[in-house]
Structure 1
Amino acid sequence: MSTSLDTTSGLTDAQYDEAIRVALARIETTVDRWLEDDVIDIDSARTGSMITLSLPNRSQLIVNAQPPLHELWLAARRGGFHFRHDLATGRWLDTRTGEEFFSLLSSCASEQGNCPGLQF
């Protein structure tokens, strides 16, 4: 396990790996809960550190870890977004706007799934 410090994010590789693990687990747990509670029919497929969320209208949200950059990426109809983990707050923040990852993911899922109020 590497502990080298990445000067861009300020995280060690181990800290980044843990933050990614937690983020992806949160997504999977939320989707499972939505399916159990019959909130939305959404399919989640994970391949390594990438999760593809397929919504009822066949649109997709793709969340992907980018280890070399210590980033988390989101691809949605709105566009592509890059997030870095803020160690002080424990949140993933957009590198351009500062928007929080789970807030934006929730908005995109609500829009694309035509199901207002979805919250990761």
Structure 2
Amino acid sequence: MDNTTYLNLAEKAFEQIIELIESINDDVEYEINGNILSLEFESGYEIIINKQEAMKEIWLASTKGGFHFAFTDGHWYSSKDSIDLLTKIREELKNN
């Protein structure tokens, strides 16, 4: 995958994450700073999602662990457990 394609797909993923946040949990504050999307819950729980351009991945870090997502077959899947990025975000939003 070339850089332009990766960046377009990663940007679309960030947009989908923000839409998901706004539809599920309005108690989450979010901020994009460069390649990093930070989510902060009222409880103080935080999730950091960042674009890893060199690896062509999206990484998610929280107190529950770190996950690396690669784009395959139209979705971002975790190398750890094959979960889809938006499914993982949905789980985090509902459990915090």
Q: Normalising by structure 1, report the TM-score.
A: 0.73
Query: 89-98 vs 46-55, which deviates more?
Result: 89-98
**SS at structure 2 position matched to 1:92:** strand
**SS at structure 2 position matched to 1:98:** coil
Q: CA deviation at 1:96?
A: 2.4
1:56-114 alpha-carbon deviations (Å, 9 max, x no partner): 1011111100000001000122100001011xx21001112211111111112221x2x
| Runs of 5+ consecutive residues of structure 1 not aligned to the other structure | 1-10, 114-120
1:2-34 alpha-carbon deviations (Å, 9 max, x no partner): xxxxxxxxx111111111010011122333445
Structure with higher RCO (Cα < 8 A, 6+ apart): 2
- 1:64 pairs with 2:54: no
Structure with greater strand share of residues? 2
RMSD (Å) for aligned C-alpha atoms: 1.4
Structure having the higher Rg: 1
Query: 22-31 vs 12-21, which deviates more?
Result: 22-31
Displacement over 3 Å in runs of 4+: none
**SS at structure 1 position matched to 2:49:** strand
Percent of residue pairs bearing the same amino acid type: 21
Q: Normalising by structure 2, report the TM-score.
A: 0.90
